[in-house]
């Protein structure tokens, strides 16, 4: 009788298959690699549901592990119907948890006027980073920019170019690139252009480099650096939430669409996950 495969072996086999298919992002694969299932993935569905409920109180964490179980079971031609029904039942709970978190956050965060006042008093790299978050909703990874005098033929990074009357951002490495492709952002703000030029970057230099001038490739290190430069150390997610709330209250739908495009996030996600006024109505 052949030896039964362990959970780790089953998950590794599944990950190797999807890596070969190249249908999921590197970020998704890394997420899957970090998931550990402390019970037999191939046991009965009712047993799995009970184990998940006992182990994970947070519905998002529960759903993450449940998804992994479903994917691996499908790959091994095991039944998943009851697990999928259970996953569907989690949606209302997850939406309620998200709305409660947004409501609590809404009571704590400052007004958009405060962000703009703070931004106006900044200069240098701190101004540049906060400007890109406030005006364009960019994520941390988007801001890992390389200054170039001309775009390379093969575009694998995020590039910053100084044109005659504007700054051009050509963003190729970001969270949702698989969905939205290359993002091009044209910035004509005079102060932003001035602050970029004051940095006197040479061709091939990074906006936020390591001490030796190389690209900062460690995600945690880069995120920490960005976080410490944001207004009141709020981080980009909170800043974007403040801006989206203000745009909705003022019915600035054109600007909201621009944030959606520049960030690479659908309007549906912005309204559900970043809207501090989300009351459960889609």
Region of poorest pLDDT, from 13-22, 152-161, 270-279: 270-279
How sure is the predictor about 108, in pLDDT bands with cuts at 50, 70 and 90?
Answer: low
Rounded Cα distance between 88 and 49, Å, is 13
| Per-residue pLDDT, 248 | 83
Rounded Cα distance between 86 and 253, Å, is 36
Region of poorest pLDDT, from 3-12, 68-77, 128-137, 146-155: 3-12
Res 225 pLDDT > 80: yes
Q: Where in the chain is the domain with CATH 1.10.443?
A: 112-273
| Per-residue pLDDT, 282 | 37
User: Which tokens go with 223?
Assistant: 């995120």
| Per-residue pLDDT, 94 | 67
How sure is the predictor about 60, in pLDDT bands with cuts at 50, 70 and 90?
Answer: confident
| Per-residue pLDDT, 168 | 97
Tell me how far the alpha carbon of residue 239 is from its chain's centroid: 14
Q: Could you tell me where the DSSP H helices lie in 76-204?
A: 81-108, 112-120, 124-136, 177-180, 190-198
Element (H, E) at 145: strand 145-147
Read off the pLDDT of residues 163-221 as tens digits, 9 standing for 90 and up: 999 999 999 999 888 888 999 999 999 999 999 999 999 999 999 999 999 999 998 89
| Per-residue pLDDT, 106 | 53
How sure is the predictor about 98, in pLDDT bands with cuts at 50, 70 and 90?
Answer: low
Instruction: Report the relative pairing of strands 158-162 and 145-147 from DSSP bridges.
Output: parallel
Rounded Cα distance between 22 and 24, Å, is 6
Res 1 pLDDT > 50: no
User: Phi-psi bin for 266: left (phi > 0), alpha (psi -120 to 50), beta?
Assistant: beta
Q: Which residues, including other chains, have CB under 8 Å from residue 7's CB and lie 6 or more apart?
A: 36, 37, 39, 40, 41
Q: Could you tell me where the DSSP H helices lie in the chain?
A: 7-21, 26-33, 45-55, 59-75, 81-108, 112-120, 124-136, 177-180, 190-198, 219-229, 236-249, 253-263, 267-273
Right CATH for 112-273 from 3.30.70, 1.10.443, 1.10.150, 1.10.10 = 1.10.443
Q: Which residue has the tokens 């690479």?
A: 264
Rounded Cα distance between 272 and 282, Å, is 7
Going by C-alpha positions, the residue among 264, 255, 266 that lies closest to residue 139 is 264
- Per-residue pLDDT, averaged over 32-47, amounts to 90
Burial class (CB in 10 A: 0-12, 13-18, 19+), 160: buried
- Per-residue pLDDT, averaged over 112-125, amounts to 92
Tell me how far the alpha carbon of residue 271 is from its chain's centroid: 15
Rounded Cα distance between 237 and 175, Å, is 14
Going by C-alpha positions, the residue among 220, 199, 198, 222 that lies closest to residue 210 is 222
| Per-residue pLDDT, 162 | 96
| Per-residue pLDDT, 87 | 86
Region of poorest pLDDT, from 42-51, 97-106, 262-271: 97-106
């Amino acid at each position: 009788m052949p030896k039964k495969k362990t959970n780790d072996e089953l998950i590794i086999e599944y990950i190797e298959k999807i890596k070969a298919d190249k249908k999921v992002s590197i970020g998704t694969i890394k997420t899957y690699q970090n998931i550990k299932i402390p019970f037999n993935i191939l046991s009965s569905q009712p047993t799995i549901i009970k184990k998940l409920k006992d182990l994970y109180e947070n519905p998002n964490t529960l759903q993450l592990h449940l998804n992994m179980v479903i994917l691996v079971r499908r790959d091994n031609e095991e039944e998943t119907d009851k697990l999928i029904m259970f996953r569907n039942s989690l949606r209302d709970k997850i939406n309620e948890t998200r709305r409660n978190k947004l409501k609590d956050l809404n009571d704590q965060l400052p007004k958009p006027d405060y962000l703009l006042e703070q931004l106006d008093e900044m200069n240098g790299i701190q101004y540049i980073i906060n400007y890109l978050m406030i005006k364009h909703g960019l994520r941390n990874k988007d801001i890992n920019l390389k200054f170039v005098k001309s775009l390379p033929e093969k575009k694998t990074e995020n590039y910053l170019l100084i044109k005659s009357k504007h700054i051009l951002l050509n963003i190729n490495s970001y969270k949702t690139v698989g969905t939205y492709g290359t993002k091009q952002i044209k910035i004509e703000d005079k102060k932003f252009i001035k602050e970029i030029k004051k940095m006197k970057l040479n061709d091939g230099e990074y906006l936020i480099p390591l001490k030796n001038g190389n690209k900062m490739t460690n995600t945690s290190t880069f995120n920490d650096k960005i976080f410490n430069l944001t207004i009141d150390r709020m981080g980009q997610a909170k800043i974007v939430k403040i801006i989206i709330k203000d745009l909705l209250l003022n019915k600035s739908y054109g600007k909201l669409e621009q944030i959606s495009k520049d960030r690479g996030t659908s309007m549906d996600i912005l309204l559900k996950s970043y809207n501090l006024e989300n009351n459960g109505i889609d």
